[in-house]
Structure 1
Amino acid sequence: MTHTIDRNLYTKLLTQTAPKIIENQAEYEKVLTEIEELLFNPNRSIEENALYDLLVMLVEKYETENYPLDVAKPYEILQHLMEARSINDSDLLNIFGSQEIITAIKKGNYPINTFQAQALADYFHVSPHLFL
Structure 2
Amino acid sequence: MLKLIKTEVQYEDTLARVYELMQLDLQPDTKESDELEILSMLVKKYEEEHYPVPEPTPLEAIKYKMEQMKISDAELSEILGARSRKSEILSGKRKLSLSMIRALKERLNISADILIQLY
Aligned residue identity for 2:19: E
Corresponding residue for residue 11 of structure 1 = none
Percentage of pairs with the same residue: 27
Corresponding residue for residue 50 of structure 1 = 34
CA–CA separation in structure 2 for the residues paired with 1:114 and 1:44: 50
Q: Structure 2 length as normaliser, TM-score?
A: 0.73
Corresponding residue for residue 19 of structure 2 = 36
Ranges in structure 2 where 5+ consecutive residues have no aligned partner: none
Corresponding residue for residue 92 of structure 1 = 76
Find the structure with the greater CA-based Rg: 1
Cα–Cα, structure 1 residues 109 and 21, in superposed 2: closer, same or farther, change >3 Å? Answer: farther
Aligned residue identity for 2:72: N
Instruction: Identify which of structures 1 and 2 has the higher relative contact order when contacts are C-alpha pairs closer than 8 Å and 6+ apart.
Output: 2
After superposing the two structures, state which structure 1 stretch, 98-107 or 68-77, moved more.
98-107
Q: 8 Å contact 2:77–2:85 — kept in the other structure?
A: no
Task: Give the 3-state SS of the residue equivalent to 1:26 in structure 2.
Answer: helix
Question: Aligned residue pairs: how many?
Answer: 114
Given the alignment of the two structures, is residue 60 of structure 1 paired with residue 25 of structure 2, yes or no?
no
Ranges in structure 1 where 5+ consecutive residues have no aligned partner: 1-17
Aligned residue identity for 2:115: F
Q: CA RMSD in A?
A: 2.4
Matches within 5 A, 1:1-132: 18-46=1-29, 47-124=31-108, 126-129=109-112, 130-132=114-116
Corresponding residue for residue 6 of structure 1 = none
Cα–Cα, structure 1 residues 50 and 79, in superposed 2: closer, same or farther, change >3 Å? Answer: same
Q: 8 Å contact 1:35–1:52 — kept in the other structure?
A: yes
For residue 102 of structure 1, report the CA deviation from its aligned partner.
1.1
